[in-house]
Amino acid sequence: MPQNESPTTDFVVLCSTDLMLISSVGGAAEARGFGFASVNSIQAAIEKAATAGSIVCLDLSALYSDPNEFAAAAPQLLARSIAFGPHVHTAKLDVARSAGIGRVMSRGQFVSGLLTHFVKSS
């Protein structure tokens, strides 16, 4: 564990394979006082988001970012989670909404509002 992380660090956990997005989300998360982790499975996201203030971001373009699997495995994380995908993939966005993901938006909305999406819980 890096020196600046503690077992109670709140994380922004990103499930994505997009290298540019990983860099942007990581920078925004750290600017808002979160730790950051990019993961390649739902299980890894759940493990990393163990603290109550963590936020999980599911890139619906990633093959392993299944909102139904995430909802079934971690219902306690739904309210503080974000799912995003291309605006033309309305079916995927609808599945995320139906799964109970707290915030569902287009990829453009997610990227343009990175700093506003990551707010520490009180």
- Residue ranges per structural domain of the chain: 11-117
Please tell us whether the domain made up of 11-117 is placed in CATH 3.40.50.2300. yes
pTM, full prediction:
0.90
Integer-rounded Cα radius of gyration of the chain: 13
What pLDDT does 122 receive?
60
Dmax over Cα atoms in the chain, in whole Å?
A: 42
The 10s digit of each residue's pLDDT in 11-61 is 999 999 999 999 999 999 999 999 999 999 999 999 999 888 899 999 999
Within 8 A by CB and 6+ apart from 106, the residues are 84, 85, 86, 87, 93
The one-letter code for the residue type at 61 is S
**Rounded to whole angstroms, how far apart are CA atoms 29 and 72?**
26
**Rounded to whole angstroms, how far apart are CA atoms 84 and 78?**
14
